[in-house]
Each structure stands twice: as C-alpha cells, then as structure tokens.
C-alpha cells in the first residue's frame, strides 16, 4: 500500500489517499477499493464529500463507528459477519 | 490585410444555458429589428421541433453591426448528440463565446465543445449567463470554469480569457458582477477588444471552405462557409475540390452569392477573405468541400468529425395498419428522405442493408436519432424502427464498444440509488464531489448501459436529477448488461379494444391503450411485470344473455393507460419488437405478428441457446 494514508477526525470525517474505487456506498457503510484490498468504513449518516479516481483522494463525513482493512481475496461476508 | 471591420464569433453552450436567448437580445440591441417590429421569443430557433424542445439543433448564422464592425454570430447546437455541427462551425470563426449557466456551471457539452475550440487555438470569452437566477453561484462557477480550462490544457492566453456576466433574458451585461449591467455593450466591447481581427489575404486565388449546407426549392442546394483567401464574385466560374478526395474536381459557377445581414440573406456582388457567405449554383457541393478558382485548385484541410456510435434500422411499415395514416410510405420515399438528411447532417450515416425495404441509420446517440424520427413523422412519413444498438468495433481481434462520459448532478439522498444503477450498468466512478446540498458524480459507462436509463434516473431522483453524457472513447467490451426485465402484453386478435377486454387485461400489467383503440394481432398494448410476454384479447366483448345486459359494462373501472413518448417507446422496445411510426400514432409491435409462429421461433431460440 504505497503512500496510502487514512485519517479519522473526531469520528466525524474520514480522509484517505490512493483510493482506486468506491465499490459500494450507503448511508451506513462505504467500501473503498485500494491497491492491496479494501477498506470498510461503517457508521451512520455517511456522505461522500469528495472522491477522484485520477488523484485517489477520498473524503467522507458522518458518524463513523469503525474502519476495517480487508486483504485481497478475503471474502467481505466472512469478515463482516464472522 | 487585417479585417478590422469584421469579427466571426461562435456561441457555445450546454443545452438550455440560454444561448439562443442571448443572441436574440444581441440582435434586438443592435437595432436589427425596427422598434415596432414584433419579435418572436426565440428568433434563431426556426423549426418548431427546436422551439418545443427548447434546444438548438441546426447551427444558424446571423450578424450585427456595432461601432462600424460587422460581427458574424454563429449559434451552435447545445446537445452533445449534434456535435458534428459544432466541429464544422469552429472552422468558420476566430473566437468563441463560452456560455455557462450561473447556477449549473459547466456541463459535459460545454466540456466537449470547449475542447474542440481550444484544440483549434481560438480565443475564448467566458459568458456567465442567467446571473439573475436566485440560485446563481457566481464565484464557484468561475472557479469551475477555470478548473475545466486547466483540465483541457488551455494555453496561458486562453486561461486569461475575460469573463462577462450576463442576463440574456434582461439583455444586460457587466464586467463586474457586483455592478448590475444596463445593456449588452460590455459584451460587444469585449468581443471587439479580445477577439482579434482576422488576417486575410484578399489578393490571392480564391479559396472558400463549405462548412454548412442548406436547401431551398428555388435555388437548390446552398453552401455556407467562410472565404479563406482571395475574393469571390457572383457568376464566377469555380472548381469544387476536397482535401480528403484528390480525384474530386467538379467545375461549376456561383450563380447567387449572399451575405448575412441580421437574419436575412442579402444578395451581394462580391465578398472577400474573412466574410461568411452563402452561395448557390453548385449542385454537388458538400460539407468539407473547398471552392477554388480553376487555375489554382487548393482544397483546405477539414476537421475530422467523430463517428456515430448508435445505430437503428429504419424500414418500410408492414404492419396490418400500414398505409392508412402516412403520406410517404414507400421504400423510395424513405430512402430519398434519409439520404437527403445526410446532406445537412454530417454526424449521420445511412447504409443500405440486404433487404430493399430497410436501411441502417447510425447517429451520435438516442436523442440524435429520435429527433430525426420525429421530424420525418411530422413531415408525413410512415415507417418502422428497431431498438437502438451500439456500434461495436473489432481491434486486433478484440471487441470494443463506445463509452460515454456521464455527469450526474443529484440531491444527496438519491446518490445511493444512482450508485446502484451504475453498478448494474457497468458504470465506473471517476469523480464525486459535494456541491451544496447536491452531489455531482462522474462516470465512464458503456453507451449501451445508458439505453433506457433516462426515465429510470428521473424516477429514482424524483425528477430533481440532471444527467448529461458525451462520447468518451472506445474500450474493450464490458460484458453483459441486463436491459429490460419486464415482458409485453400482446394483443392476439385484430379489432377494436373494448372496456370488457381491457378490464381483464389490466390485471396482467400496465396498459398503453384505452378503450376504442384499433389493435391488430401482434401489437404490444402493455407491459407485464413478468419477464415473459403474455397474449391477451382486448377485443373480447361481454357475452350478452337475457340477464347480462350490455349496460352493466359501465361498472368496469379502467386504470388510466400509460401514454408513452417516442423516447420512452425507443427505450422500451426489446430486440424482438419494432416501433411503428405514423404521423398520427406510435405503436409498438412484435417482429413476428402471428402468436403461434412467434412461439415456435422462441422455442427454437431456447433450443439453440
């Protein structure tokens, strides 16, 4: 994960770099694609503020409760529901 | 020689950003109309289809005089599907006014057309229009324009383009948004100062590039274009040549020569380099041809027009009701009309198919072809069309398909629904940003994925969403996209639909027709929620006996039929269906009308699959 950074401010705003894609999005969960896998951000009232595929910059706002990194190949369903 | 007395300017903008209204105001303020002369609302949109849809389809020329300088104004089409017109117009002008709505900001069509203008090195004047709108975002829009120019690698000179803040409706312009304007003089002055006069060689051998074509029953074909070099006289003998076709050398004579004054074409004896003229007498003149003098035949390079990406099959109407409503119904009528359209529309392509009754028509999008269909329908033509398909390409054995850049602007709460649809239609997110309480998303999506999406999009965003797409490039095939999941309700008897029959049919799905509508076997009269087609008999009347009288029919309540527009019908028809177009009606029908033959064909298909 070269130069990938992720910051969460006061559990209200998440900002990340080197994001390749936004795989799915709802007001309770965001799934972002990065080079080596995925990031799952969960919370409530989630709203994507900015994303640019060319620069890889991403930011979203809402009540953030968890951020989870998933390696490539690990099934999301298994990780989410144990 | 510097043509100080002349400026040739095009106006470029997105659909509905007020381009033609601003031209109307410029014409009024330059006294082209006498004060007491009644002026219709949208002077430049001459055909009613354009007025109804509020978009410019054909680029038109007009001119005004300001401080002794003649300003030729060319209005360009606002919709991405007509960009063949825009590219040609760029050849006639030296500068462009880039019109942007003060609330919506730059949208796809603006991006596409500004890119064409920048590529040709034209000077730009940014006109932020509709500043009288309550939801105007003046500073953000200015930043968005700068961002657009940066993204399109504008030169430093183009980046420093002047900005004029206008209200086309009120006819005012100002260079400082905080100071309200009184009239359009700031705009006229900026045109004179920023758009450089053309450097024209009026002595050399004549060279006139034809950028547009018109047709008139009296003088025949009229070419429109700018004189690139030398001068042209009425009655002069010339040779027509083409840069891409070295063998083309048609001798001829310019019978009539016109210049444009206001909205009229005024005959003139002579015109010189820089002037935009109309000329007739050369029957074989075509867009992209150059008119030269016989002793110096030197055709001018012509800008490459991007190719069509969507095709449909136009064929002679062979339904049971054929020939009843149309004036022009035969294959020769259809062929002549389609090939005549080619003369005026560079982005269109018409090819003959194996059958003498059908023609393959290719255009730049669903809207482009639906406007051609609507125009022909109003002229009295009767024909049928197939469902739109994209035009694939094979490059090194790999199947490529056309991709579109789609910009969507929706309220926040609809973002999820749009994301969902885009996932199903193989759209790839490029960019997403919050714009006030709305979200702007940018996708790259297969053209095929956009078929039928417009109505779904408006439903999912409760009519508040704005979507625009423009051709991006060809990319490898993205795989299967499921189009229509519903089936059709098909009438299996010819006759007239009656309430009793419709009442039973409406239980199976949404109906498109009401009582009293003539139907024929194989005609699609509704949509069924299941994926299979259902044959229904809407002509079935109630079996009358001494106890069941006909009067009790009134008790049956019919749900109001869903009236489908031409675009909705084009989105709805499946591969095994056709759209019957007549001046009075638009009917959907099955390719195979007979229900048994249709069942056999489907069974055979399933066996092969």
- pLDDT recorded at residue B48: 63
Return d(Cα B121, Cα B154) in angstroms, integer.
Answer: 9
Return d(Cα B81, Cα B362) in angstroms, integer.
Answer: 12
Nearest Cβ partner of B412 from A47, A53, A54? A47
Query: Among B274, B115, B271, which residue's Cα sits nearest to residue B196?
Result: B274
Rg (CA), chain A: 12
Q: From chain A, pick out residues whose CB is under 8 angstroms from the CB of B434.
A: 47-50
Task: Work out the average pLDDT over B467-487.
Answer: 85
pLDDT band at residue B311 using 50, 70 and 90 as cut-offs:
very high
Task: Work out the average pLDDT over B260-265.
Answer: 80
**B439 touches A: beta carbon within 8 Å:** yes
Give chain B's mean pLDDT.
84
Q: Which of B407, B414, B433, B438 to mutate to test the interface with A (most CBs of A within 10 A)?
A: B433
CB proximity list for B1: less than 8 A, separation 6 or greater: B199, B200, B201, B202, B203, B273
pLDDT in tens, B534-574: 999 988 887 766 666 666 555 678 888 988 888 889 888 98
Nearest-5° angle of CA B562, CA B566, CA B567? 95
pLDDT at B109 over 50: yes
List own/partner pairs for B119-122 with CB under 8 A and 24 or more apart.
B120/B90, B120/B91, B120/B303, B121/B155, B122/B90, B122/B93, B122/B94, B122/B95, B122/B96
DSSP state for residue B294 in the 8-state scheme: T
Digitized pLDDT (tens) for each residue of chain A, 82 residues in all: 458 999 999 999 999 999 998 888 888 889 999 988 899 999 998 888 889 888 899 999 999 999 999 987 655 445 454 4
Return d(Cα B13, Cα B436) in angstroms, integer.
Answer: 23
- pLDDT recorded at residue B243: 82
pLDDT band at residue B412 using 50, 70 and 90 as cut-offs:
confident
pLDDT band at residue B46 using 50, 70 and 90 as cut-offs:
very low
pLDDT in tens, B143-200: 888 888 887 778 888 888 899 999 988 899 999 988 888 999 999 999 999 998 888 8
State whether B430 and A54 contact (CB < 8 Å): yes
**B415 touches A: beta carbon within 8 Å:** yes
Return d(Cα A60, Cα A46) in angstroms, integer.
Answer: 7
Nearest Cβ partner of A50 from B415, B429, B433? B433
Q: What is the 3 state secondary structure string of chain A?
A: CCCCCEEEECCCEEEECCCCEEEEECCCEEEEEECCEEEEEEEEEEEEEEEECCCCEEEEEEEEEEEEEEECCCCHHHHHHC
**B559 touches A: beta carbon within 8 Å:** no
CATH number, span A6-73: 2.60.40.2000
Nearest Cβ partner of B432 from A22, A24, A54? A22
pTM: 0.71
Of A72-76, B111-115, B367-371, B396-400, least confident by mean pLDDT is: A72-76
Task: Work out the average pLDDT over B90-102.
Answer: 88
pLDDT in tens, B350-370: 999 888 899 999 998 887 898
Query: Among B592, B521, B513, which residue's Cα sits nearest to residue B560?
Result: B513
Q: Specify which residues B311 forms β-bridges with.
A: B362, B389
State whether B434 and A47 contact (CB < 8 Å): yes
This complex has an ipTM of: 0.74
List the structure tokens of B300. Answer: 């001018």
How many angstroms separate the CA of residue B443 from the nearest CA in chain A? 10
State whether A25 and B433 contact (CB < 8 Å): no
Which residue numbers of A have CB closer than 8 Å to B's CBs?
A: 21-22, 24-27, 47-54
Q: What is the DSSP string of B560-606?
A: PP-PPPHHHHHHH--TTEEEEE-SS-EEEEESS-SHHHHHHHHHHHH
- pLDDT recorded at residue B42: 47
Task: Work out the average pLDDT over B412-428.
Answer: 87
Query: Among B133, B187, B151, which residue's Cα sits nearest to residue B23?
Result: B187
- pLDDT recorded at residue B587: 94
State whether B419 and A50 contact (CB < 8 Å): no
- pLDDT recorded at residue A77: 47
How many angstroms separate the CA of residue B148 from the nearest CA in chain A? 15
pLDDT at B74 over 70: yes
CB A37 within 8 A of CB A74: yes
pLDDT at B499 over 80: yes
Q: From chain A, pick out residues whose CB is under 8 angstroms from the CB of B423.
A: 24
Q: What is the 3 state secondary structure string of B248-278?
A: EEEEEECCEEEEEEECEEEECCEEECCCEEE
State whether A25 and B415 contact (CB < 8 Å): yes
- pLDDT recorded at residue B145: 87
Which helix H or strand E contains B455, and what residues bound it?
A: helix B453-460
- Does residue B419 or residue B304 have the better pLDDT? B419
- pLDDT recorded at residue A81: 47
| Three-state DSSP state, B87 | helix
Query: Among B322, B470, B310, B479, which residue's Cα sits nearest to residue B389?
Result: B310
- Does residue B154 or residue B316 have the better pLDDT? B316
How many angstroms separate the CA of residue A49 from the nearest CA in chain B? 5
List the structure tokens of B281. Answer: 């007498």
Return d(Cα B81, Cα B565) in angstroms, integer.
Answer: 19
Which helix H or strand E contains B442, and what residues bound it?
A: strand B438-446
Return d(Cα B302, Cα B225) in angstroms, integer.
Answer: 12
Q: From chain B, pick out residues whose CB is under 8 angstroms from the CB of A49.
A: 433-434
pLDDT band at residue B85 using 50, 70 and 90 as cut-offs:
low
Return d(Cα A72, Cα A77) in angstroms, integer.
Answer: 13
Nearest Cβ partner of B416 from A26, A49, A53? A26
pLDDT band at residue B77 using 50, 70 and 90 as cut-offs:
low
CB proximity list for B246: less than 8 A, separation 6 or greater: none
Give, rounded to a whole angstrom, the gap between the first and last alpha carbons of chain B: 71
Q: From chain B, pick out residues whose CB is under 8 angstroms from the CB of A53.
A: 428-431
Return d(Cα B224, Cα B63) in angstroms, integer.
Answer: 14
């Amino acid at each position: 994960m070269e130069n990938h950074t992720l910051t969460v401010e006061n559990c209200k705003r998440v900002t990340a770099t080197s994001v390749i894609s936004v795989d799915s999005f709802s007001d309770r969960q965001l799934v972002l694609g990065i080079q080596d896998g995925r990031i799952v951000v969960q919370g409530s009232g989630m709203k994507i503020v900015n994303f640019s595929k060319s620069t890889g910059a991403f930011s979203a706002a809402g009540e953030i409760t968890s951020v989870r990194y998933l390696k490539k190949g690990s099934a999301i369903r298994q990780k989410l529901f144990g | 020689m510097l043509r100080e007395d002349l400026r040739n300017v095009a106006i470029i903008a997105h659909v509905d950003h007020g381009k033609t209204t601003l031209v109307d105001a410029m014409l009024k303020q330059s006294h082209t109309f006498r004060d007491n002369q009644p002026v219709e609302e949208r002077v430049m949109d001459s055909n009613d289809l354009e007025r109804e849809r509020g978009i410019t389809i054909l680029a038109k020329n007009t001119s005004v005089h300001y401080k002794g300088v003649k300003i030729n104004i060319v209005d360009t089409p606002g919709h991405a599907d007509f960009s063949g017109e825009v590219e040609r117009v760029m050849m006639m002008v030296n500068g462009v006014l880039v019109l942007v709505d003060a609330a919506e900001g730059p949208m796809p069509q603006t991006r596409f057309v500004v890119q064409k203008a920048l590529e040709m090195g034209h000077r730009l004047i940014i006109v932020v229009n509709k500043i009288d709108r309550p939801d105007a975002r003046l500073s953000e829009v200015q930043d968005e324009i700068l961002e657009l120019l940066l993204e399109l690698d504008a030169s430093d000179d183009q980046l420093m383009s002047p900005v004029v803040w206008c209200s086309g409706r009120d006819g005012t312009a100002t260079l400082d948004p905080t100071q309200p304007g009184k009239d359009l003089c700031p705009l006229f002055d900026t045109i004179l100062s920023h758009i450089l006069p053309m450097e024209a060689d009026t002595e050399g051998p004549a060279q006139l590039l034809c950028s547009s074509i018109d047709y008139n029953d009296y003088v025949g074909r009229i070419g429109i274009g700018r004189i690139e070099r030398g001068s042209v006289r009425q009655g002069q003998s010339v040779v027509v040549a083409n840069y891409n076709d070295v063998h083309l050398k048609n001798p001829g004579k310019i019978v009539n020569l016109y210049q444009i004054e206001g909205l009229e074409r005024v005959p003139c004896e002579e015109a010189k380099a820089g002037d935009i003229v109309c000329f007739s007498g050369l029957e074989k003149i075509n867009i992209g041809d150059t008119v030269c003098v016989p002793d110096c035949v030197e055709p001018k390079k012509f800008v490459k027009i991007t190719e069509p990406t969507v095709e449909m099959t136009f064929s002679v109407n062979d339904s049971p009701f054929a020939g009843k409503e149309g004036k022009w119904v035969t294959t020769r009528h259809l062929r002549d009309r389609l090939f005549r359209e080619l003369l005026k529309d560079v982005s269109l392509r018409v090819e003959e198919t194996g059958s003498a009754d059908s023609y393959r028509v290719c255009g730049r999008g669903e809207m482009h072809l639906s406007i051609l269909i609507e125009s022909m329908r109003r002229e009295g033509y009767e024909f049928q069309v197939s469902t739109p398909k994209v035009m694939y390409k094979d490059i090194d054995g790999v199947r490529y398909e056309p991709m579109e850049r789609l910009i969507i602007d929706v309220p926040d709460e609809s973002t999820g629904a749009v994301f969902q649809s885009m996932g199903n239609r193989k759209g790839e997110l490029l960019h997403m940003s919050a714009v006030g309480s709305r979200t702007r998303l940018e996708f790259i999506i297969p053209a095929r994925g956009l078929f039928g999406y417009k109505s779904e999009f408006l439903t999912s965003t409760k009519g508040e969403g704005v979507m625009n797409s423009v051709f991006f490039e060809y990319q490898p095939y993205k795989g299967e996209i499921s189009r229509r999941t519903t089936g059709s309700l098909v009438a299996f008897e010819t006759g007239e639909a009656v309430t009793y029959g419709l009442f039973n049919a409406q239980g199976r799905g949404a109906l498109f027709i009401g009582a009293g509508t003539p139907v024929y076997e194989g005609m699609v009269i509704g949509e069924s929620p299941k994926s299979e087609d259902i044959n229904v008999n809407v002509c079935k009347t109630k079996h009358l006996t001494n106890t069941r009288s006909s009067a009790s029919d009134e008790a049956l309540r019919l749900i109001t039929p869903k009236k489908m527009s031409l675009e909705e019908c084009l989105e709805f028809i499946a591969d095994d269906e056709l759209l019957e177009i007549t001046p009075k009606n638009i009917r959907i029908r099955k390719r195979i009308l007979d229900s048994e033959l249709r069942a056999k064909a489907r069974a055979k298909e399933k066996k092969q699959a």
